[in-house]
Amino acid sequence: MSELKLVQHVVVPGTFDPITYGHLDVIARARRLFPQVTVAVAASVGKNGTGPVFSLDERVQMIRDTLAESQIVEGVEVLPFTGLLMDFCQEIGAGGVVKGLRAMTDFEYELQQADLNYRLRPGIESIFVMGSPEFGYVSSSIVRELAYLGSDVSFLVPSVVERRLHERFGEPRK
């Protein structure tokens, strides 16, 4: 076996359009396990110009504000990235990627990504944490849909994100 090099620095990647309590849970868990965590925000712009509701800068800023508000700051940074996740990990010297699993439906998609990432950079570990059960149904797309339809989303997202959603989609119905 080649020289054992412990993983110290991991990446928590995603589109974060926007960050939810589910994401925050995964970031906090990753930080409990590893001393250095980089939250990597993917540009995720589609070929025909379609893409996230919030700009890359807005998504990065909402995560930074959320982490500051939640006092998850030490050992955690937030960076945008474009291109391949594995290239980004290599560039910043991260030894692993941490992702959350909610249900079997996540598993199939994540297994495919992990296999592909292994083929690209076998030295970078894919690590999975089981999301807390109370956030099992939370996703950015559900949050966007509820906010768009005028529902309260305060039970799904941190207050900084809630404010930005209301600025974008209007105040929720009473």
Catalytic residue numbers? 23, 47, 102, 140
Q: For ligand PNS, how many residues bind (rule: CB under 6 A)?
A: 10
Burial, 44: exposed, middle or buried (Cβ in 10 Å; 0-12, 13-18, 19+)? middle
Shortest Cβ distance from residue 171 to ligand PNS (Å)?
27
**Please, which residue, 44 or 172, has the CB nearer to ligand PNS?**
44
CA-based nearest residue to 156, from 13, 24, 12, 14: 24
Phi, psi for 15 (deg, rounded to 5): -90, -30
When asked if residue 20 is in the footprint of ligand PNS (CB under 6 A), the reply is no
* Site residues (CB under 6 A) for ligand PNS, limited to 85-144: 85, 113, 116-117
**Please, which residue, 38 or 117, has the CB nearer to ligand PNS?**
117
Q: Taking CB under 6 A as the rule, which mask of x and - marks residues 30-69 in contact with ligand PNS? A: ------------x-x-------------------------
Q: Which stretch binds ligand PNS (CB under 6 A): 1-9, 11-19, 27-35, 126-134?
A: 11-19
CA atoms within 13 A on the CB side of 131: 22
**Please, which residue, 61 or 172, has the CB nearer to ligand PNS?**
61
Name residue 40's amino acid: A
Shortest Cβ distance from residue 85 to ligand PNS (Å)?
4
**Please, which residue, 83 or 170, has the CB nearer to ligand PNS?**
83
Q: Which stretch binds ligand PNS (CB under 6 A): 8-16, 64-72, 142-150, 159-167?
A: 8-16
Residues that bind ligand PNS in the complex, under the rule CB under 6 A? 13-15, 42, 44, 84-85, 113, 116-117
